[in-house]
Amino acid sequence: MTARTLLGLAFAGLVLIALAALPFFAGPYAVTLMIGMTGYVVLATAWGLFSGPTRYVSLATVAFFGIGAYTVGVLSETLPYPLVLLVAALIGLAVALVVGLSTLRLAGVYFVIFTFGLAELIRQVVTWYEVNVTGTLGRYIFLPVTPEGIYWQLLALAAATFLISWGIGRTRWGLALKVIGDDEVVASHCGIDITRLKLALFATSAVIITLVGAIQAPRWTYIEPSIVFNPTISFLTLIMALLGGADRLWGPLLGAIPLFLLFEWLSANFPNHYPIILGLVFIAIVFLLPKGVLAALESRLGKGGAK
């Protein structure tokens, strides 16, 4: 390990400590904001973990997010909280493996449509089960978790996600992923086991997303499928990761934070025009920054240097 990476790690650790200390200085509204923001940072980074290198656009974010939240809803009264989180992660993993095995051979737009359908499928299955087996649709979550507790859990999850993402980039896996992203045929000719690699990555990303849903669920007290399987979550995650640049470690972070703050500012100041402005922002991102903020910055700096 070079001195530079050590320095970087130390700096990241300091930032993490500063963020963790925030609830002691800032008011409850700041904590609420940070919960939302950290949640989306983790979602976007986890999304970028799989979709960045492989360029598979997944709209299944909310499927796993909802699985996590629902698991907490179902088990919060019967199991201790850490075990509930563990079970949620395991369910997310199992679903990701089944889905991954059956679909990662799909490519392009077929994969997008499949993942979008997956979220709807899981929502309908949960609804069907609740209607026909348990006879209730809503689930109550009465857990003694404070907003600060939720924030710290999300922060820890964010740190873990960045470590995983950074770690993968430094291994042979990271290299192999870059090859897959550039050309799958070449990758398979190089002897890379494409399917297994993609599956492992998809599963990792899915488990993290599941945990975000599970950690945030106690904030809502009451959940039902239409609340936790809200497709907006998938779209927001996607646009945040794209804005930042999904194939870079810090890209999703740089997309999630400004967009989250923008949405918050819009809904506080322009509650009645929010959907219109949101649509315009989406269009602007796609037209002006198709490769993300980081890539745009680099190309601009690069040009500046050439002059």
Least distance in Å: CB of 264 to another protein? 7
Select the span of 21-29, 41-49, 94-102, 279-287 touching another protein (CB under 8 A): 21-29
CB nearer to another protein: give 50 or 64.
64
Rounded to the nearest whole angstrom, what is the least distance from the CB of residue 127 to another protein in the complex? 6
3-state percent helix, strand, coil for the chain, nearest multiple of 5: 80, 0, 20
Q: Which of residues 229-288 bind another protein (CB under 8 A)?
A: 230, 232, 264, 267-268, 271-272, 274-275
Dihedral over alpha carbons 230, 236, 242, 245 (to 10 degrees): -110
Q: How far is the CB of 179 from another protein (least distance, A)?
A: 38
Does position 226 bind another protein by CB under 8 A? yes
Which of 124, 171, 195, 299 contacts another protein by CB under 8 A? Answer: 124
The CB-of-245 to another protein minimum distance in angstroms stands at 25
- Closest distance of CB 187 from another protein, Å: 39
* CB 32, min distance to another protein, A: 5
Judged by beta carbon, residue 124 or residue 299, the one nearer another protein is 124
Q: Residue 227, interface with another protein (CB under 8 A)? A: yes
- Quote the Cα angle for 50-127-200, to 5°: 20
Long-range contacts of 20-27 (CB under 8 A, 24+ apart): 20/152, 20/155, 22/151, 23/148, 23/151
- Cβ-defined contacts of 220-223 (< 8 Å, 24+): 220/69, 220/141, 221/140, 221/141, 221/142, 222/138, 222/139, 222/140, 222/141, 223/69, 223/70, 223/73, 223/138, 223/139, 223/141
Calpha distance 243→178 (Å, rounded):
20
Scan for tokens 């997944």, then name that residue: 58
Q: Measured from the CB atom, is 184 or 264 closer to another protein?
A: 264
Select from 168-176, 203-211, 219-227, 298-306 the region that touches another protein (CB under 8 A): 219-227
> Is position 304 an interface residue for another protein (rule: CB under 8 A)?
no
Q: Which residues contact 277 (CB under 8 A, 6 or more apart)?
A: 266, 270
- Within 154-193, which residues bind another protein (CB under 8 A)? none
Binding-residue total with another protein (CB under 8 A): 36
53-112: which residues touch another protein (CB under 8 A)?
none
- Supply the minimum distance, in Å, between the C-beta of residue 107 and another protein: 31
Which tokens in the block code for residue 202?
A: 């998809």
What's the Cα-to-Cα distance from 136 to each of 58, 131, 175, rounded to whole Å? 31, 6, 49
Q: Does 290 bind another protein (CB under 8 A)?
A: no
Q: Which residues bind another protein (CB under 8 A)?
A: 27-29, 32-33, 36, 124, 127-128, 130-132, 135-138, 140, 142, 216, 219-224, 226-227, 230, 232, 264, 267-268, 271-272, 274-275
